[in-house]
Chain A
C-alpha cells in the first residue's frame, strides 16, 4: 500500500512516444538520483509500479539493473518504427508487451483515420489495457495524454482515447499535452487535424497544456546560441529521430522533447516530493480553470534547460522570475504579458527558494501583468524542496491567459484557407463514421473559445473595472 496517488501516461503517435520516451528517461533519472537507498517508495510509485517485491530501483541507467520497475504507461502508435526503436533502447525494459498497441499501416496524416477507424478498431484493446493499468494503481488520480495535433494517429487516435477515458474514468483527471504544428508545417492537412482534435480537447480534457513546435525550436536555438558550439553541434540536422540512448544525447528532437518532459516533471514534482507548500495535481485544474471549457494553460519554464548541463541560467533568482513571463520562455508562441490573465500557477522547485522570494516576485511582477478584474490575486503557488537533477532551482508557470486565442485564430486562418477550397475533404469523408458536419462543428467550437476569451478581455480591459454593486443586507 502506498500513501500517494498515481498517474498513467498514455503516449500516442510518433511525437507522443518521443516525448514520452524523454519523460521516462528523465523521470527515472530524477528518482534514481534522489532515491539514494534504491528503495521503491511512494514518490517512485506515482509513475512506476514495482513488479517484484525485492523493492529496489536501479541507481544507474544503462546497466542491466532495470528489472523490477515498469512505467505506468501505455504506448500507442499505428506504425511500428518509433515504438520498436524505443523498446530496443535502454528504456525498453521499463515497458512490457502488455502495454503496447501498434499497427503497421499508419494513419496517413488523417484525423478521421486515427479517430474513427483506429478509434473503433482498437477501442476494446485500449480500454482493456487502461483498465489493467488502472487496477495496478492504488489510487489513480491523473491521466497524462501526450500526442501531436498535426498528424493522424496522435491527433485522431489520441483524442479518441481521451473521450474513452472521459466515459470510463470520469473521476480521474485528464491532462493533455498536445504539440501543435508550426505555421510552416509540411503536413498539408495539419490545420484540419488540429482543429478537429482541438474540438475533442475542449470537450473531454480537464486541462490542456498546448505546446507549440515553433517555440520549442526557438528555445533550442536560443540555448544553442548562448552555448559554446561543441555541446550542441549536432543538433542542426533536421532528420526525424526517435528513441534515445542517454541523457544529453545528440538527437535534435530529444532536445526539444526534453523541454516538454521537464514541464511534466516540474508540474508533478510537488505531488511526488515534499515541500512547504504542496500542490496536488487536482489543485491545478481547480485553481486555473474558472470556466469548464477555458482549460488551456500556457506553460513557461525558467531557467531554460534541456538536460543537466545544457541550458541557460539566469544570474539571479529575480531574473529567472522575469524570464518566466517573457515571450521567449513560453511553450506556446505567445505573449501573456500583453494579454489578460484569468489565473496563474507558479510552481517552484528548489531547497533555497522560500515563500518570501515568491511573495516578493509576485508583488514585483504583478504591476506588469494584467489579471481579470474578478481575480486580481489569481495566483496559485507551490513550493517543492527538491530541485531538478543538476539545477539549483526551477520555476514553472501555468497560465490561463487570453493570449491563447491568437494561436487559435492563426490556426483558424490556416484551416479556412484549405476549407474554403474544400481541399482534401474527400480523404476525410471516405472514412467510415466520419460525418462531414464535424468540420463545421469543430470550427464553431474553436470560434466559441476564441469569443469567450475575447469577451473576457473586452469586459476586463475597458480600463476601469466594472464593480458589481454589492448585495445589501437589509
Chain B
C-alpha cells in the first residue's frame, strides 16, 4: 500500500528529505543477517510504499513538497543527486513570500489561494499509486507555513480523501524559542489538526538535540543532525515488519499508516502520540557495537514507565507496583503502546525475562489486554544496526508538553501581546481552550 508524503514548510521539507533518504538507504541496504529473498522482499515492500519506480530505474518519491519560500525546496531537490532517488518533477509548490511565522497568515491568506494547485498535485500523486493507503504530513508547529498552511491542507486532505489514513509527525520547536510566537502558532495548529488528522506524532527538538549531544557525541549539533535522528526514528517505525502479536502480516500489502492509526489512536479523542527509540549509535561506532535483546527491551520498558526520551540518565529505581497509580505522580498512563523490534532474532529473541508491557497499572481498565501493547517484529535489522526497538505511545506523555505550551500562550494572551498580528483574537482564545480542555479531559478519561 502506497503512502504519499506531504512536506510542508522549511522544517517539513528538510525533515521529509531526511526521512525519504533514510527510508531509501535502509531499503537498499542488504543485510547479511537475513536471506537474499527476505532482503528483496523487504526492499520491494518499503520502496513500493514510499517510492515508485520511474522509467529510468531510479526511484521517485511519492512526495508533494510545499513551501511558501523556494530556498528549502531547492536545497532538497539538489540533495537527491547521486542518491538513487529523486522527487517527482511536478510535485513542488512554492510561493515567493513566506508566511512570516504567522499561523493566521498561512491559514487564512496563503492556504485559500494555494489550495487548488496543491490539491491537484496531491491528487496527481495519489493517482500514481496502485493501492493508495494514506498521507504522511510533515511540518513544524512553530512557523507560519507548516503550522498554518499545514493545518488547512490537512483539513482539505481529510475532505478529499475521507477514507485515507492521515498521520502527522509534527516537530515541536526548542522551548528556548526558535520563534517568539511559537506557542500561539502551535496551539492554533494543534487545535485545527486534532479534528482532521487521525494521529499526530509529537517530535521534540529539545529531546533530539540532547540525544545528538549525549548519545551520538556530536559537539556542534546542526539541524541536519537533528533531522537525521528524527528521520531514523520515524523510518524505524514505518518500515516493513513481518509479524505482529496477533498474527501474520504480509509485508507487501500492509497499509502501514492504517495500522499505526488503528493500533495507536484507537480512541478518537486521543490522537497525540509520542515516539521513542533505541539505540542511537554514531555511524562510526556501529561496527563495534553489540546489543542484546534483553538489555534493549529492559531499557525501552524503563523509558516507557518513566516516560523518558533516551536511555541515558534513566531512573532505574522506579518500579511499577500494583498500588502505584498515576495520581501519585509515579508513572505515566497509556491508552496504547506499540513496540517495533527490528534485527537479529527479533522474531524469537533468546529466552529472557520480558518486562510486562501490558501491565494493567499502566492502562485504564477499559482497554482490553490484547490492545494494550502489540509488538511488531522483523528479523531484518534497520540499516546497519544489529538490533533496535521503537516505541510509539499514546498516553500522558503528551500532557506535559501541551500544558507548557498552553501556559505560555495563556500568559502571553493575558498580556494581550502579539494579538494585532493575528486576525481574530477570539479564534486564538478558542484554540487555547480547545487544547486545554483536551489535555484535561484526556487526563480524566485516562485515569478512569
Q: Is the CB of B410 within 8 A of A468?
A: yes
Cα distance A470–B219 in the bound complex, in angstroms: 40
Cα distance A181–B338 in the bound complex, in angstroms: 66
CB proximity of B141 to chain A, nearest CB, Å: 14
Cα distance A274–B94 in the bound complex, in angstroms: 15
Q: Which residues of B contact A277 (CB under 8 A)?
A: 10, 178, 223
Selected A-B contacts with CB under 8 Å, 19 pairs: A3-B69, A4-B70, A274-B74, A274-B75, A280-B98, A282-B99, A287-B180, A354-B221, A355-B221, A356-B220, A357-B220, A375-B412, A378-B180, A379-B176, A381-B178, A468-B414, A470-B407, A470-B410, A471-B432
Q: Which residues of B contact A377 (CB under 8 A)?
A: 175-177, 180, 408
Q: Is the CB of A473 within 8 A of B69?
A: no
Q: Is the CB of A292 within 8 A of B420?
A: yes
Size band of the A side of the interface?
Answer: 35 or more
Interface string of A109-132 (1 = CB under 8 A from B): 000000000000000000000000
CB proximity of B341 to chain A, nearest CB, Å: 32
CB of A298 within 8 Å of the partner chain: no
Q: Which residues of A contact B436 (CB under 8 A)?
A: 470-471, 473
Q: Which residues of B contact A289 (CB under 8 A)?
A: 418, 421
Q: Please give me the 8 A-B residue pairs with the lowest Cβ-Cβ distance, nearest first.
A: A282-B100, A356-B221, A290-B417, A3-B70, A139-B96, A280-B98, A468-B414, A374-B411
Q: With A354-B221, A374-B415 as known contacts, state yes or no: A288 contacts B98, CB within 8 Å.
A: no
Q: With A356-B209, A381-B177, A471-B433 as known contacts, state yes or no: A286 contacts B75, CB within 8 Å.
A: no
CB of A50 within 8 Å of the partner chain: no
Contact of B70 among A42, A138, A287, A354 (CB under 8 A): A42
Known: A277-B223, A356-B218, A357-B220. 14 other contacts (CB 8 A): A3-B74, A4-B70, A5-B97, A274-B71, A274-B75, A276-B222, A283-B98, A290-B412, A372-B415, A374-B417, A377-B180, A380-B177, A381-B178, A473-B441
Q: Is the CB of B408 within 8 A of A471?
A: no
Please give me the residue from chain B that is nearest to A141 by CB atom: B97
Contact of B174 among A276, A359, A473 (CB under 8 A): A359
Size band of the B side of the interface?
Answer: 35 or more
CB of B226 within 8 Å of the partner chain: yes
Q: Is the CB of B96 within 8 A of A2?
A: yes
CB of A61 within 8 Å of the partner chain: no
Q: Is the CB of B96 within 8 A of A278?
A: no
Interface string of B81-99 (1 = CB under 8 A from A): 0000000000000101111
CB of B41 within 8 Å of the partner chain: no
Q: Which residues of A contact B180 (CB under 8 A)?
A: 287-288, 343, 375, 377-380
Q: Which residues of A contact B101 (CB under 8 A)?
A: 282-283, 286-287, 380
CB of A440 within 8 Å of the partner chain: no
Q: Which residues of A contact B218 (CB under 8 A)?
A: 356
The interface centre, meaning the residue of B75, B101, B432 with most chain A CB atoms within 10 A of its CB, is B101
Q: Is the CB of B176 within 8 A of A362?
A: yes
Q: Which residues of B contact A355 (CB under 8 A)?
A: 209, 221-223, 226
Cα distance A378–B221 in the bound complex, in angstroms: 22
CB of B120 within 8 Å of the partner chain: no
Q: Is the CB of B178 within 8 A of A290?
A: no
Q: Which residues of B contact A372 (CB under 8 A)?
A: 415
Q: Which residues of B contact A2 (CB under 8 A)?
A: 96
Q: Which residues of B contact A138 (CB under 8 A)?
A: 96
CB proximity of A358 to chain B, nearest CB, Å: 9
CB of B440 within 8 Å of the partner chain: yes
A residues within 8 Å of B by Cβ? 2-5, 42, 138-139, 141, 274-278, 280, 282-283, 285-292, 342-343, 352, 354-357, 359, 362-363, 366, 372-381, 383, 467-468, 470-471, 473
CB of B179 within 8 Å of the partner chain: yes
Cα distance A286–B75 in the bound complex, in angstroms: 26
The interface centre, meaning the residue of A280, A288, A359, A366 with most chain B CB atoms within 10 A of its CB, is A280
CB of B111 within 8 Å of the partner chain: no
Please give me the residue from chain B that is nearest to A272 by CB atom: B71
Q: Which residues of A contact B406 (CB under 8 A)?
A: 470
Contact of A287 among B174, B179, B415 (CB under 8 A): B179
Cα distance A3–B77 in the bound complex, in angstroms: 15
CB of B102 within 8 Å of the partner chain: yes
Cα distance A278–B71 in the bound complex, in angstroms: 9
Cα distance A304–B183 in the bound complex, in angstroms: 34
Cα distance A377–B72 in the bound complex, in angstroms: 26
Q: Which residues of A contact B433 (CB under 8 A)?
A: 471, 473
Q: Is the CB of A4 within 8 A of B179?
A: no
CB of B181 within 8 Å of the partner chain: yes
Cα distance A10–B224 in the bound complex, in angstroms: 39
CB of B437 within 8 Å of the partner chain: yes
Q: With A42-B70, A278-B69, A380-B180 as known contacts, state yes or no: A373 contacts B221, CB within 8 Å.
A: no
Q: Which residues of A contact B407 (CB under 8 A)?
A: 470
- Which residues 177-192 of B have a CB within 8 angstroms of A? 177-181
Contact of A291 among B70, B213, B420 (CB under 8 A): B420
Q: Which residues of A contact B97 (CB under 8 A)?
A: 5, 139, 141, 280, 282
Cα distance A276–B181 in the bound complex, in angstroms: 19
Q: Is the CB of A286 within 8 A of B221?
A: no
Interface string of B415-437 (1 = CB under 8 A from A): 11110110000000000110011
Q: Is the CB of B177 within 8 A of A278?
A: no
Q: Is the CB of A278 within 8 A of B10?
A: yes
Q: Is the CB of B224 within 8 A of A276?
A: yes
Cα distance A142–B75 in the bound complex, in angstroms: 25
Q: Which residues of B contact A5 (CB under 8 A)?
A: 96-97
- Which residues 89-124 of B have a CB within 8 angstroms of A? 94, 96-102
Cα distance A124–B411 in the bound complex, in angstroms: 47
Cα distance A285–B411 in the bound complex, in angstroms: 20
Please give me the residue from chain A that is nearest to B421 by CB atom: A286
Cα distance A301–B224 in the bound complex, in angstroms: 27
Please give me the residue from chain A that is nearest to B100 by CB atom: A282
Q: Which residues of A contact B414 (CB under 8 A)?
A: 374, 468
Q: Is the CB of A366 within 8 A of B176?
A: yes
Q: Which residues of A contact B10 (CB under 8 A)?
A: 277-278
CB proximity of A192 to chain B, nearest CB, Å: 30
Cα distance A378–B101 in the bound complex, in angstroms: 13
Q: Which residues of A contact B176 (CB under 8 A)?
A: 359, 362-363, 366, 377, 379
Q: Which residues of B contact A343 (CB under 8 A)?
A: 180
CB proximity of A217 to chain B, nearest CB, Å: 32
Interface string of B299-314 (1 = CB under 8 A from A): 0000000000000000
Cα distance A291–B418 in the bound complex, in angstroms: 6
CB proximity of A37 to chain B, nearest CB, Å: 16
Cα distance A282–B211 in the bound complex, in angstroms: 33
CB proximity of A349 to chain B, nearest CB, Å: 15
Please give me the residue from chain A that is nearest to B411 by CB atom: A374
Q: Which residues of B contact A381 (CB under 8 A)?
A: 177-178
Cα distance A377–B181 in the bound complex, in angstroms: 9
Cα distance A128–B298 in the bound complex, in angstroms: 73
Cα distance A283–B175 in the bound complex, in angstroms: 18
The interface centre, meaning the residue of B94, B181, B212 with most chain A CB atoms within 10 A of its CB, is B181
Q: Is the CB of A286 within 8 A of B410?
A: no
Q: Which residues of A contact B14 (CB under 8 A)?
A: 276
Cα distance A291–B417 in the bound complex, in angstroms: 6
Q: Which residues of A contact B412 (CB under 8 A)?
A: 290, 374-375
Interface string of B277-309 (1 = CB under 8 A from A): 000000000000000000000000000000000
Cα distance A372–B408 in the bound complex, in angstroms: 12
Q: With A4-B70, A283-B98, A377-B176 as known contacts, state yes or no: A468 contacts B411, CB within 8 Å.
A: yes
Cα distance A285–B144 in the bound complex, in angstroms: 13
Cα distance A343–B418 in the bound complex, in angstroms: 11
Q: With A3-B94, A4-B96 as known contacts, state yes or no: A354 contacts B222, CB within 8 Å.
A: yes
Interface string of B220-254 (1 = CB under 8 A from A): 11111010000000000000000000000000000
